[in-house]
Structure 1
Amino acid sequence: MNESKSKWKFTVENADGMIQRPIVIIGAPRSGTTILQRCLAVHPELWHLRAESHYVLEGPYHPRKLGRKSNRCTREDTDEETVESVRERFYEEAMNVSKVLSNPGWLFGTSSLVGRAFSAAAVLSLGNCSKITKPDEFRFLEKTPKNSLRVSLLDRLFPDALFIWNQRHPAKNIDSLVAGWHTSDKIGPIGLPRFARASYPVAEELNLKDYSDKWWKFALVPEWETLQSKTIGEVAAWQYYQCNRYTLKDFQDIDDERIFELNHESFVQNPLSSVRDISEWADLPKSQVVEHFARALPQVNDTKGETRDEETGLRYPEGVQRGMRSVPELSDLTSRMGYGDISVYP
């Protein structure tokens, strides 16, 4: 873990104001980025979007618009005019519910369908009210799992950005991805796709063995077209590998002081210590609201209904094991991430 305190003071100027040293949470889908983001989002000095940044970045950087077939995007895939436009959009969309509520933690601690819908509506309404008093300069928090494939791009958008790399054990992360692929929200007899926000209708092209819906879920990773006739476990393992591989690749061009590596398992075990370390590293003042949320650490964005295997604690142990075996490069990558034993079965 990188515990050195950042000394970066450069700010990115927009037409109407400045976003100072934004904190960008990077992590593969289902790695635990949501609970970390919500922990930090209640900080009174951190502004954020109403949701993930799909509605900002999918416009100029949609794969089809770039002539690409994945969400992979680098600093070379944009121009200065677009960069300025996107920066302005982030500034305009930024909100801070803490400016309206002294303790907005209860808005960020729900997982049910009704709770998520209410929370989204409340955050949007209160967040819009907070924009009335938006300062010219502020700190900003961003979290979108697709950004694990866009670190280079984010570094161009915000050259002073601080990056938190949220890592999770591959077996548990892949298991959660598989569960997400198979999860839908239900309103009575009606099933609604979940985890398909800002997704693409390409999954049916692959003739996957255990998934028939057209919607590709989570990040559209490079070389997804090679997964013909695979299982969701194999798809999920490839997503996990590609997201973390490209994150690590892009981080090679970023100063170590701007990167904080966070182990999700350690965070869940001691969230209070983790948020204190992050606050010190990111030059954020201590916040009682953040620490109160961390102590409670509600379960968010979870999936329900699956039975867990008693031996492994996973919902789809065989599928996860098959998926991990299909990506032999995974072992070297996860070793770099600090996970020595990545076997599914103890």
Structure 2
Amino acid sequence: MFPSAHFVYVKRSPGDNINSLIEGWRKPDQFAAWSYDLPETVAIDESRYTRWCFFLSDGWRKYLQSSIEEVCAFQYMAMNEAILEARKTVPTSQWTEICYEDLLQNPVEGFRQAFESAGLAFTKKLEDHCSKVLSNPYNAFSEIRLDKWRDGRNRERIESVLPKINDIAQRMGYEL
């Protein structure tokens, strides 16, 4: 489809990513506006969530009456599995993989790597912008920091699904 495209895969640790998905599901006006016309009834977490948020992957119907953590673990697995499969079809020279956690620790170097691997100039203006990006996030539900799920309201829910996503997490380079 895009033979000369350069793909940048920003992967994220399972706990923090699932936490963000759960928080996003609490904002259906932002992330479920498209789902009014689904051919199925959504009754996640005993009908606490009645509109599907984010993307639909094969098998989504199995989760219509599941817990929110089960749905978000499914979405995490499905999306990352699809990306890892797609990577097999992309020439190495057109693929860059970076960790979200690295961007949080050093956004300038993380973005520099992404730009340079794609053959793009990382200008002083971009460097200045990246040096301030964490203090002025585009779309953050809460404080930006590593492992915030561990002391957040979703911890027990997330811990209950981590064993189910262990395989994909390891393939992405994360140890649970």
Shorter-chain TM-score tier: 0.7 to 0.9
Question: Map of 1:199-214 to 2, 5 A cutoff?
Answer: 199-202=35-38, 205-214=41-50
Q: Highest relative contact order (Cα 8 Å, sep 6+), 1 or 2? A: 2
The Cα of 1:208 is off from its aligned counterpart by 1.8
Aligned partner (choices 110, 126, 129) of residue 293 of structure 1: 129
Q: Distance in 2 between matches of 1:284 and 1:310?
A: 33
Asked if 1:218 corresponds to 2:62, the answer is no
The Cα of 1:300 is off from its aligned counterpart by 2.6
Quote the sequence identity (%): 28
The answer to whether the Cα contact below 8 Å between 1:234 and 1:324 also exists between their aligned partners in 2 is no
Structure 2 unaligned residues grouped into runs of 5+: none
Write out per-residue CA displacement over residues 126-180 of structure 1, whole angstroms, 9 at most, x where no aligned residue: xxxxxxxxxxxxxxxxxxxxxxxxxxxxxx2x11111001100001100110011
> Kindly tell me: are residues 218 and 311 of structure 1, through their superposed partners in 2, closer, same or farther at Cα, counting changes over 3 Å?
closer
Q: Distance in 1 between matches of 2:149 and 2:41?
A: 35
Write out per-residue CA displacement over residues 302-342 of structure 1, whole angstroms, 9 at most, x where no aligned residue: 225xxxx98913331112122334xx3x21211121101x2
Match of 2:11 in 1: 167
Secondary structure of the 2:153 match is: coil
Letter in 2 for 1:180: G
> Kindly tell me: are residues 211 and 180 of structure 1, through their superposed partners in 2, closer, same or farther at Cα, counting changes over 3 Å?
farther
Letter in 2 for 1:254: V
Letter in 1 for 2:41: E
- Relative to the length of structure 1, the TM-score reads 0.46
The Cα of 1:274 is off from its aligned counterpart by 1.2
Write out per-residue CA displacement over residues 174-214 of structure 1, whole angstroms, 9 at most, x where no aligned residue: 01100110136xxxxxxxx1222444544962422254444
Q: Which has the higher strand share?
A: 1
The answer to whether the Cα contact below 8 Å between 1:199 and 1:218 also exists between their aligned partners in 2 is no
Q: Distance in 2 between matches of 1:281 and 1:159?
A: 16
Write out per-residue CA displacement over residues 33-58 of structure 1, whole angstroms, 9 at most, x where no aligned residue: xxxxxxxxxxxxxxxxxxxxxxxxxx
Q: Please identify runs of 4+ aligned residues in structure 1 that moved more than 3 A.
A: 197-204, 210-214
Aligned partner (choices 183, 189, 214) of residue 27 of structure 2: 183
Asked if 1:252 corresponds to 2:112, the answer is no
The Cα of 1:230 is off from its aligned counterpart by 0.9
- Relative to the length of structure 2, the TM-score reads 0.86
Write out per-residue CA displacement over residues 56-114 of structure 1, whole angstroms, 9 at most, x where no aligned residue: xxxxxxxxxxxxxxxxxxxxxxxxxxxxxxxxxxxxxxxxxxxxxxxxxxxxxxxxxxx
Structure 1 unaligned residues grouped into runs of 5+: 1-155, 185-192
> Kindly tell me: are residues 208 and 244 of structure 1, through their superposed partners in 2, closer, same or farther at Cα, counting changes over 3 Å?
same
Cα RMSD (Å) = 2.5
Q: Distance in 2 between matches of 1:311 and 1:216?
A: 22
Q: Distance in 1 between matches of 2:49 and 2:122?
A: 46
Q: Distance in 2 between matches of 1:162 and 1:199?
A: 31
Letter in 2 for 1:174: I
Q: Which has the higher helix share?
A: 2
The Cα of 1:221 is off from its aligned counterpart by 1.5
Q: Distance in 1 between matches of 2:149 and 2:7?
A: 35
Asked if 1:320 corresponds to 2:158, the answer is yes
Question: Map of 1:90-239 to 2, 5 A cutoff?
Answer: 156=1, 158-183=2-27, 193-202=29-38, 205-239=41-75
> Kindly tell me: are residues 235 and 248 of structure 1, through their superposed partners in 2, closer, same or farther at Cα, counting changes over 3 Å?
same
